[in-house]
Amino acid sequence: MPELPEVESLSRELDSAFQQNQHKIRQIHCLRPDLRFPMPLGELESLSGLSIRSVHRRAKYLLFQISEGKSVQFLISHLGMTGSWRFGSRASEKKHDHLAIEFKDDQFLIYNDPRRFGFVDVLKNIESSKWFSHLGLEPFDPKLSAQHLAALAQSSTVAIKVWLMDQKHIVGVGNIYASEALFRAGIHPATPAKKIRLKDWNKIILGIREVLGQAIENGGTTLKDYRSLTGNSGRFQKLLQVYDQQGQACVRCNKLIQSKTMGGRSTYWCPKCQKRNS
DNA sequence: CTCCTATCCTGCGAGC
DNA sequence: TGCTCGCAGGATAGGA
């Protein structure tokens, strides 16, 4: 489900909800602890009585900042493929509800995840933790440059589309937006990463920023499962130009969009607009 | 080191 | 209708 735009959209909605209403945690209900990694039951229990101050995003993680006096810690949530958060009035209302944060005002914030690829953890120091220490730069980080990516990719023979999805290079780009960004950049997805020239790295960075920015503005992409905090679908699926468009006419040149599995994931491109050597 | 495959899960649509 | 198969937004471990 969730790549950067979906997690960012959810993060903004959650943060706005907590800014309007300082929610103090009464209790965290671990309904089904068997997510990808078992929930840290004791640490979740120890959050009772504390308040969620804000919600941010790093890579594809949601970060709930929880503080009391000088101590600051984070409840982190990775949504895997099918994770979602929603507000409710009871701890467990639906199949696959795994966690429910009960607040003093009787509201519940509930995590649901049918495929259980997501997980939660409680951290004091985010960037040095095992979940975050290896991650690459954010796509909108001003430090991100063609030189930076070219240096990381200098000896990699991996297809650029697969390379972009590796979170240690650049974070937030998943299977949908990797194909979409390369279409916007005019680069063939099978190009070996080390063969990309500086001017094409610049096009890739622009393509990534453009597609992620538009997707955020449109509340993300809903293929099947993704829902906003209030249960709405995203709108960006209507604006996809190559993803899941195999056999359709390219929006720019009318040639038919191709698809092929790369690195085990479906990949889409226009054979005329996207060249290995541009 | 790098690269590739299988794997963790449930649900849904296509095809028979 | 009902069954099986393949595939789905992620990310990792383990083998080559």
Q: Is the pLDDT of residue A7 over 90?
A: yes
Instruction: Provide the pLDDT for residue A276.
Output: 84
- If you average pLDDT over every residue of chain A, what do you get? 96
Q: Are A138 and A208 in contact (CB under 8 A)?
A: no
State what percent of residues in chain A have pLDDT above 70: 99
Q: Is the pLDDT of residue A278 over 80?
A: no
Instruction: Provide the pLDDT for residue A23.
Output: 87
Neighbours of A58 (CB within 10 A): 19
Q: Are A272 and A254 in contact (CB under 8 A)?
A: no
Write out pLDDT tens, residues A244-253. 999 999 999 9
- Examine the residue annotation and report whether A60 is marked as an active-site residue of this protein: yes
CA quadruple A92, A93, A96, A102: dihedral positive or negative? negative
Q: Is the pLDDT of residue A277 over 80?
A: no
When comparing pLDDT for A110 and A20, which is higher? A110
Write out pLDDT tens, residues A52-108. 999 999 999 999 999 888 889 999 999 999 999 999 999 989 999 999 999 999 999
Write out pLDDT tens, residues A147-196. 999 999 999 999 999 999 999 999 999 999 999 999 999 999 999 999 99
Phi, psi of A247 (to 5 degrees): 85, -10
The residue whose two tokens read 């096009």 is A203
pLDDT band at A22 (very low <50, low <70, confident <90, very high): confident
State what percent of residues in chain A have pLDDT above 90: 93
When comparing pLDDT for A21 and A47, which is higher? A47
Footprint of strand B on the protein (CB under 7 A): A 36, 95-96, 114-117, 155-159, 162, 193, 224, 263-264
Q: pTM for the complete prediction?
A: 0.96
Angle formed at CA A201 by CA A196 and CA A205, multiple of 5 degrees: 145
Candidates A5, A8, A58, A60; catalytic one? A60
Tokens representing A98 are 């795994």
Instruction: Provide the pLDDT for residue A264.
Output: 95
Nucleotide nearest to A222 (CA to C1'): C9
How far apart CA A241 and CA A239 sit, in angstroms, is 6
Note the residue count of chain A: 278
Q: Give me the helix-helix angle, A4-20 and A198-217, nearest 10°.
A: 40
Q: Which residue is nearest to nucleotide B13 (CA to C1')?
A: A224
pLDDT band at A1 (very low <50, low <70, confident <90, very high): low
Question: Closest by alpha carbon to A61, among A135, A128, A145?
Answer: A135
Write out pLDDT tens, residues A256-276. 999 999 999 999 999 999 998
Nucleotide nearest to A244 (CA to C1'): C8
- Examine the residue annotation and report whether A192 is marked as an active-site residue of this protein: no
Separation between the CA of A115 and the C1’ of B11 (whole angstroms): 9
